[in-house]
Amino acid sequence: MSSRLAAWLLRVHPGEWPRFALAFVYFFFLLGGYFMLRPIRGLVASNFSELLHLLYTATFLTMLAIVPVFGFLVARFRRGVFVPLSYLFFIVQLVAFAWAFSGGPAPQPVQLVFYVWLSVFNLFVVSVFWSFMADIFAPGQAQRLFPSIMAGGSIGAILGPLATAKTVGVIGVSGVMVMATACLLVATGLAIALGRRERRRTAGSGEALIGGSVWEGAREVFRSPYLLLICLMMLTHNMTSTFLYNGLAVLVNEAGMDQVERTVFFSYVDLVVQVLAFTFQFILTSRLLSWLGMPKTAILPPLVLAAGFTLLGSSLGLVLFAAVQVAQRAMNYGLLGPVKEMLFTVVDRETKYKSKNFIDTVVYRGSDVAASWVFKGWMTLGLGLQQAALFYLPIMAAWGFGVWKLGRRYEALRDASGSTPKAG
């Protein structure tokens, strides 16, 4: 690929290549490591599908316990300290899980704790990554570069589940965890390298202590109409995605697959998702944002999924249900994900780290808890997945309305970004 073609595809301007390349490879290893582990979580979910609402609740409570600790680190340490420290914290725990899963199937309590741990790990480390990106790229750069940086993650997310599918039968779950640990160590090293480069580029101005209260980020969320709209977007999206995730776990459990077959099935679902997401990120998303603007681009996922849920309401099967979930996740990673991260480029640094982390963890998993209990309620009432699907159409209508308003507010803040960015 010539440098001119690469610049056209990735929309990288001269002088941006070193930062872009480090961020691209950093996200590749971060998501590559996570997506090696994700099929194992899918295996646990299908083994204990009747407990998913309790696992979501446990994840949410764990998030509540971790957020003030992260807020303390952000307020007291520079970015070059708290970013790698956060990753190393999880790497040590993953090594312990690799040991616990060695020698055969892990005990049920260990499997359940791993499910909660990976759900926390995923949101936390990815939130830290994108807070970092929003801190070092301006809004105009983010619109061009964030989809391509996310494509680096998608390449990792394509190779990660593929590596798990090809090796889990030989090296076992514990071996997969060791491979993931190696990827996360590389990602941590790249985070350190990128942080050092940014300190040199900005003469240390971007490394100033953020300071403030541990809970200031959470308070700002409830004071800011802009951040509340982001919360609404996440709540309505998660209501949709949790229904699809739980429903697929139920259908896989009913299909009678064994443990290896389930792991391989979820690996290939992840693979298809990431191939589609990569296509969005590498080619479509930044151009859709340029052609349509933020409001029209952000409203595409709820419109497409409303059509998919209408189809599920009239017909249901494992393949069709998996196809709708694949579409939802592909748009989440390929379109909604870059859009969400761009929304934080027009706010101040405290909001980028503290409020964003609160939204990405507590609000995100809180909405998961609500969605999982709603799903449990449908099943308890005896409603089938086909009947329940139609009840989610009003949720997607609220999603579409909220992101339209959010997109317009973002464009107003972006156009006024000559002044100090604010969250409101």
Residue ranges of alpha helices (H) inside 224-336 are: 225-254, 259-279, 285-292, 294-298, 300-314, 318-331
Question: CA-CA distance, 389 to 303, in Å (whole number)?
Answer: 15
- Percent of the chain whose pLDDT exceeds 90: 26
Residues in CB range of 164: below 8 A, 6 or more apart:
35, 36, 37, 39, 40, 176, 263, 267
Question: CA-CA distance, 129 to 296, in Å (whole number)?
Answer: 26
Rg of the chain in Å (alpha carbons): 20
Q: What is the pLDDT of residues 330-385, one digit of tens each?
A: 998 888 888 888 888 888 767 776 777 778 777 877 787 888 788 888 778 877 78
CB 187 within 8 A of CB 91: no
Question: CA-CA distance, 59 to 119, in Å (whole number)?
Answer: 7
DSSP string computed for 37-57: HHHHHHHHHHHTGGGHHHHHH
Inform me whether the pLDDT recorded for 31 exceeds 70.
yes
Q: How high is the pLDDT of residue 85?
A: 85
Question: CA-CA distance, 70 to 223, in Å (whole number)?
Answer: 21
Q: Which two tokens stand for residue 2?
A: 């010539």
DSSP 8-state secondary structure symbol assigned to residue 344: G
DSSP 8-state secondary structure symbol assigned to residue 419: S
DSSP string computed for 378-396: HHHTT--HHHHHHTTHHHH
Q: 358 vs 136, 221, 332, CA distance in Å?
A: 20, 8, 19
Question: CA-CA distance, 142 to 63, in Å (whole number)?
Answer: 28
**Residue 286's pLDDT band (boundaries 50, 70, 90)?**
confident
Domain ranges of the chain: 3-415
Looking at every residue in the chain, the average pLDDT score rounds to 82
Inform me whether the pLDDT recorded for 106 exceeds 90.
no
- For the question of whether the overall pTM of this predicted structure is more than 0.85, the answer is no
Lowest mean pLDDT among 36-50, 91-105, 322-336: 36-50
Question: CA-CA distance, 242 to 224, in Å (whole number)?
Answer: 26
Domain 3-415 in CATH: superfamily?
A: MFS general substrate transporter like domains (1.20.1250.20)
Residues in CB range of 148: below 8 A, 6 or more apart:
9, 10, 11, 12, 20, 24, 281, 282, 286
